[in-house]
Amino acid sequence: MTQSEENYLKAVYHLEDSEAGTVNTNSIADYIHTKPSSVTDMVKKLAEKGLLNYKKYQGVSLTGRGTKKALSVIRKHRLWETFLVEKLNFAWDEVHEVAEQLEHIESEKLINELDRLLGFPKSDPHGDPIPDKNGELEKQHTHVLSGLPVNSSSICVGVRDTSVSFLNYLDKNKIALGDEIHILEKEVFDDSVHIQIGERTLHLSNRIASNLLMK
């Protein structure tokens, strides 16, 4: 498969997960920053290969084979991100673009050995679960910080937004995976929250709190 084909399958997988159903071509175009007409051409091609279900005006979904391939690419991406952080001292906001290139390496032996070297990690540096070599993905039952009640405490286990700007914001404010966060107060006006991490108190916008995954 071409890198472009793999990227399309990965995009459909992520969109299916977030939209809980079939995905329209405009959503795919927005996700990978291309024209809807280009998406339609690629979707037809992948449907002919038995990797996507596609009917005009009815949306797109992955077939069983398509899901397996998408999870394989995601597995490689997240293992490479973990390797870059744990073994090469990359920061968590530096790894995405590099992993985007490395995820297309085809050697199954290399990826399995990488997994073994890392100790078979269950999640990547952003808290996203890593599929195992059989394509099994252990779903995490998480909640966004913004949806939790006042006076509750939970552990930060992941982020929804992996953009450099958001990760830099977290680093700047010393918010990291594994932190226990206690909600002190919520503002009715804008749904922002006052939180406590250790001895520190912070005020987070609703946008920030909506991108922190808690367990």
Q: In CATH, what number is assigned to the domain containing residue 187?
A: 2.30.30.90
Does the residue 105 lie in any domain? no
**CATH number of the domain residue 55 falls in:** 1.10.10.10
Domain termination site, one of 62, 79, 107: 62
Question: Is 67 inside any structural domain?
Answer: no
**Domain presence at residue 210:** yes
| DSSP secondary structure code for residue 49 in this structure | T
**Is 211 exposed, middle or buried (CB count within 10 Å of its CB: 0-12, 13-18, 19+)?**
buried
The answer to whether residue 116 sits within a structural domain is no
- Can you give the pLDDT at residue 189? 96
Expressed in percent and rounded to 5, the helix, strand and coil fractions of the chain are 45, 20, 35
Give residue 1's pLDDT: 87
Residue 184 belongs to domain spanning? 143-214
Which CA distances in Å does 31 have to 7, 10, 63?
Answer: 10, 10, 20
On whether residue 126 sits in a domain, the answer given is: no
pTM: 0.88
Residue 120: what pLDDT? 97
Say how many domains are in the chain.
Answer: 2
Tell me whether residue 162 is in a domain: yes
Which of these three, 25, 41, 62, is where a domain ends? 62
Write down the pLDDT at residue 55. Answer: 85
Q: Estimate the crossing angle of helix 36-48 against helix 25-32, to 10 degrees.
A: 110
Single-letter code of the amino acid located at 7? N
Paired with 60 in beta bridges are: 23, 54
**Could you list the mean pLDDT of each consecutive 10-residue stretch along the chain, which spans 215 residues?**
95 87 90 91 96 90 96 98 97 96 96 98 96 89 96 97 95 97 97 97 98 97
Query: 150 lies in a domain?
Result: yes
Rounded to whole angstroms, the Cα distance separating 125 from 81 reads 7
> Is 39 part of a structural domain of the chain?
yes
What gap in Å lies between CA 209 and CA 133, rounded to an integer? 33
Amino acid 18: pLDDT: 79
Q: Can you tell me the distance from the alpha carbon of 78 to that of 98, in angstroms, rounded to the nearest whole number?
A: 11
